[in-house]
């Protein structure tokens, strides 16, 4: 148990984390470490922390554990630094094996990794063959429990929206970048869909109705270049996420402007949000302000905290695997 093999350390980042006073995230993938209890996991976290940072600035204490689906558990700890500052520690456990340890470091805490930092690049076999043909996920997905209503999340707070100033920028590697108002979106033609929605934490909701612009309409308008591999999404609250281009253009993906026949309410993303039914809910960014077509992977908010670059529900892609 004491022998920890750190396979790779990545530095990951998202602008949104700045609002949480985090300036660096160090994400270590570790080889096959079996853990049986929280004290076990704490010991492991401490070992990894020492090999990454050397001497620790304070004690490493337990904060909480939560299950993520049936397969994963996220254990949170803190390395206490004086004056109530701390470095956050997240250990991702799949089954009985710890697979990654992440450290969230505030700007005013002086602690530096001594290990070599690699650049995280998702495996490119994503782009070979197993692209979803449909956004509907049949039956009850593994590790999900159905509840009646979606839980509202606003990890960076609910932004104030002034519709007279709001536009959606669609840009990057495209022939014709555009900036769209809400009436512009309606003019592109909206469609109504009924979908099941799946949050990575394990809840799902059946039969939500959304109205919005199918992504095909947007793609026809801006004409992405052949080199595009990802769509990076930014929101007014500085939330962000990233979606493989193939999944973004799957049938049924919407830039939604209505839910249950009424404009989205403030909490659900007014004036516009993404609805990507076949990917876990964190990819369905609310209060969107910018879509950037790109050939480069880059973490969004949750991806920077270890969550999967793609997040397919049918494949249970909850956390990064390499």
Ligand X SMILES: Nc1nc2c(c(=O)[nH]1)N[C@H]1C(S)=C(S)[C@@H](COP(=O)(O)O)O[C@H]1N2
Positions in the binding site for ligand X (CB under 6 A): 150-155, 199, 235, 237, 239, 268, 281-282, 284-287
Rounded to a whole number of angstroms, the minimum distance from the CB of residue 189 to Mo ion is: 29
CB 304 within 8 A of CB 319: no
Comparing CB distances to ligand X, the nearer of 232 and 239 is 239
Residue 202 C-beta: closest distance to ligand X, Å: 10
Q: How far is the C-alpha of 282 from the C-alpha of 173, rounded, in Å?
A: 24
Q: Is the CB of 213 or the CB of 313 nearer to ligand X?
A: 313
Query: Residue 245: which of ligand X, Mo ion, none does it interact with, CB under 5 to 8 A by kind?
Result: none
Q: Which stretch binds Mo ion (CB under 5 A): 38-46, 82-90, 254-262, 282-290?
A: 282-290
| CA–CA separation, 202 and 215 (whole Å) | 27
Q: Select the residue whose beta carbon is closest to ligand X and give its number.
A: 281
Which among ligand X, Mo ion, none contacts residue 150 (Cβ within 5 to 8 A by kind)?
Answer: ligand X
Size of the site for Mo ion (CB under 5 A): 3
| Shortest Å, Cβ 46 to ligand X | 29
Residues contacting residue 179 through CB under 8 Å, at least 6 positions apart: 167, 168, 169, 170
| DSSP letter assigned to residue 40 | H
The minimum distance between CB 271 and ligand X, in angstroms, equals 13
Which residue sits closest to Mo ion, CB atoms considered?
199
Please report whether residue 49 would count as binding Mo ion according to CB under 5 A: no
CA angle 79, 57, 82 (to 5 degrees): 80
- Closer to Mo ion by CB, 20 or 43: give it: 20
CA nearest neighbour of 24 among 96, 127, 145, 107? 107
DSSP 173-231: SBSS-EEE-HHHHHHH--EEEEEEEE-TTSEEEEEEEEEEEEHHHHHHHH-B-TT--EE
C-beta of 86 vs 282, nearer to Mo ion = 282
Say whether residue 281 binds Mo ion (CB under 5 A): yes
Cβ proximity to ligand X: between 71 and 266 the closer is 266
Residue 33 near residue 4 (C-beta atoms within 8 A): yes
Q: Which is nearer to ligand X, 144 or 249 (CB)?
A: 144
Phi first, then psi: give them for residue 120, nearest 5 degrees. Answer: -75, 120
Nearby residues of 66 by Cβ (< 8 Å), 6 or more positions away = 73, 74, 76, 201
The Cα 302–Cα 81 span in angstroms is 25
199 sits near Mo ion (criterion: CB under 5 A): yes
* Site for Mo ion, rule CB under 5 A: 199, 281-282
């Amino acid at each position: 148990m004491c022998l920890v093999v750190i396979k790779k350390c990545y530095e990951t980042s998202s602008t949104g984390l700045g609002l949480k006073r985090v300036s660096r995230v160090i994400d270590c993938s570790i080889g096959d470490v079996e853990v049986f209890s929280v004290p076990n996991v704490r010991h492991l976290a401490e070992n990894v922390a020492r090999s990454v940072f050397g001497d620790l600035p304070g004690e490493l204490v337990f904060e909480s554990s939560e299950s993520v689906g049936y397969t994963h558990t996220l254990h949170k700890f803190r390395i206490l630094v004086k004056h109530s500052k701390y470095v956050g520690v997240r250990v991702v456990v799949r089954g009985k094996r710890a697979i990654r340890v992440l450290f969230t470091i505030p700007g005013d805490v002086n602690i530096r990794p001594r290990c070599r930092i690699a650049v995280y690049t998702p495996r490119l076999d994503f782009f070979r063959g197993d692209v979803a043909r449909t956004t509907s996920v049949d039956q009850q997905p593994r590790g999900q429990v159905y509840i009646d209503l979606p839980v509202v999340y606003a990890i960076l707070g609910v932004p104030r929206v002034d519709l007279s100033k709001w536009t959606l920028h669609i840009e990057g590697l495209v022939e014709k970048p555009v900036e769209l108002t809400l009436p512009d979106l309606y003019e592109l033609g909206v469609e109504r869909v009924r979908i099941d929605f799946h949050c990575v934490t394990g809840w799902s909701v059946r039969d939500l109705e959304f109205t919005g612009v199918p992504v095909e309409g947007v793609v026809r308008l801006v004409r992405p270049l052949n080199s595009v591999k990802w769509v990076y999404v930014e929101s007014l609250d500085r939330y962000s996420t990233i979606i493989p281009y193939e999944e973004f253009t799957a049938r049924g993906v919407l830039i939604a402007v209505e839910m249950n026949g009424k404009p989205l309410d403030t909490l659900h993303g007014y004036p516009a949000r993404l609805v990507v039914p076949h990917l876990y809910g964190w990819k369905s960014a609310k209060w969107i302000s910018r879509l950037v077509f790109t050939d480069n992977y880059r973490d969004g908010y949750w991806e920077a905290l270890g969550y999967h670059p793609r997040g397919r529900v049918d494949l249970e892609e909850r956390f990064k695997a390499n």
